[in-house]
Amino acid sequence: MQLSQDKATAKPKSGGALTFQSLHPLFVAEASAIDLRTVEDQATLKQIHNALDEYAVVVFRDQPFRGDEQLKFAQRLDRNVNFNSTTAVFLGKGRLGYEGMIDVSNVTDKGEVWGANDRKRMSRMSNRLWHTDASFQDPAGRYSMLWAKTVPPVSAPTEFADMRAAYDALDDELKKKLEGMHAHHSSIRNKEILGFDLSLDQKDMEKLHTADHPLVRTIPRSNRRSLYIATHVTHILELPVPEGRMVLHELMEHATQRQFVFRHEWQQGDLVIWDNRATMHRRPPFDDLKYPRELVRVTTLDYPESAHA
């Protein structure tokens, strides 16, 4: 079919509607204005995949999501949403009412800011440790999409670290040593570190996840090597436990040095999409007993891709 001249010139040459502006020397970009609720065409979705391959974290401003529109967009971008979040095991059914949409807020079901000893607060405390989402599942998390519904009047950012740049910066001897190693990830390891009261019944214990993943992986399409670590890791399969934990501790210190880190200050309506295979993230502390901060997350799973390879 021949496009009319008007239609052919209405879009940039790449075939998609977007341009990207870099926000950090190593990773992270901001996308030009777009309403993701209306994005269905393969050309634009492919542009977003390409941007994630290159930048690993992409910021979209002013997304006026309602209901399950964020979930629907996530399914257009990457089909396999994680409907099996551990959050439900610790905290029960969320207040958002859609499976697959995770309430990342400091607000109770009654809409009030949580109290100091709230179980939800204790559970969410682990977001302050560097991690990558759903690394304890197999397939693990691929893209996370976090949307800012309510932003407090004080700084309450999310920090991201580039695990590809962190890997590249390791010395050759260590790179060689890590080759072929696997880490054991557990959904309760980070909670144990913080002393979270895990008293769960047998039925819930069975829903918790563990998974083994290579410590270093190659990300398909970009072919970049990346460190795959998180505070969910209990040990390295090929090493004695203390030695493995020491290696992890040192990798964690290395990978989260300031030059690898970007701090995103939220504006209401931001949707930040990141590639969990290429990054870690954490929430720095803020006055969470005073100001409501409401984010909503959808995470997709790292099934092999064919549709947009």
DSSP 8-class letter at 113? B
275 binds Mn ion (CB under 5 A): no
Return the range that interacts with Mn ion (CB under 5 A); candidates 88-96, 130-138, 187-195, 216-224. 130-138
Among ligand OGA, Mn ion, none, what does residue 297 contact (CB within 5–8 Å per kind)?
ligand OGA
The nearer residue to Mn ion, 78 or 133, going by C-beta atoms, is 133
Q: Using DSSP bridges, classify how beta strands 29-31 and 20-22 pair: parallel, antiparallel or unpaired.
A: antiparallel
Q: How far is the CB of 302 from ligand OGA (least distance, A)?
A: 15
Look at the block and give the residue holding tokens 């996308």. Answer: 31
Q: Which is nearer to Mn ion, 124 or 164 (CB)?
A: 124
The nearer residue to ligand OGA, 39 or 295, going by C-beta atoms, is 295
**Residue 277, contacted partner among Mn ion, ligand OGA, none, CB below 5-8 A by kind:** none
Q: How many C-beta neighbours within 10 Å does residue 50 have?
A: 17
Residue 176 beta carbon to ligand OGA: minimum distance, rounded to whole angstroms: 32
Q: Minimum distance from CB of 131 to Mn ion (Å)?
A: 6
Task: Confirm or reject binding of residue 302 to Mn ion (CB under 5 A).
Answer: no
Q: Which residue is nearest to ligand OGA (CB)?
A: 283
Joined tokens for residue 202: 């047998």
* Of residues 137, 150, 68, 125, the one with CA closest to residue 102: 68
The count of other CB atoms within 10 Å of the CB of residue 208 is 16
DSSP string, 258-301: GGGEEEEPP-TT-EEEEETTTEEEE-----TTTS--EEEEEEEE
Closest to ligand OGA by CB, 146 or 271 = 146
Cα angle 149, 189, 262 (rounded to 5 degrees) comes to 45
Q: Strand locations in 40-140, DSSP E?
A: 57-60, 102-105
241 and 184 Cβ atoms separated by less than 8 Å: no
Residue 129 interacts, among ligand OGA, Mn ion, none and using kind-specific CB cut-offs from 5 to 8 Å, with none
51-64 core/surface letters (b: 16 or more CB in 10 A; e: else) = bbbebbbbbbeebe
Residue 295's binding partner among Mn ion, ligand OGA, none (Cβ under 5 to 8 angstroms by kind) is ligand OGA
Select from 74-82, 133-141, 171-179, 218-226 the region that touches Mn ion (CB under 5 A): 133-141
Other C-beta atoms lying within 10 Å of the C-beta of residue 229: 27
Tell me which stretch binds Mn ion (CB under 5 A): 74-82, 132-140, 155-163, 179-187.
132-140
The count of C-alpha atoms lying within 13 angstroms of the C-alpha of 3, restricted to the half-sphere facing its C-beta, is: 8
Contact set with ligand OGA (CB under 6 A): 104, 127, 133, 144, 146, 158, 281, 283, 295, 297
Q: Which is nearer to Mn ion, 47 or 185 (CB)?
A: 185
Of 16 and 120, nearer to Mn ion (C-beta) is 120
Asked if 133 is part of the footprint of Mn ion (rule: CB under 5 A), the reply reads yes
Which of residues 236 and 297 has its CB atom nearest to ligand OGA in the complex? 297
Summarize as ranges the residues that interact with Mn ion (CB under 5 A).
133
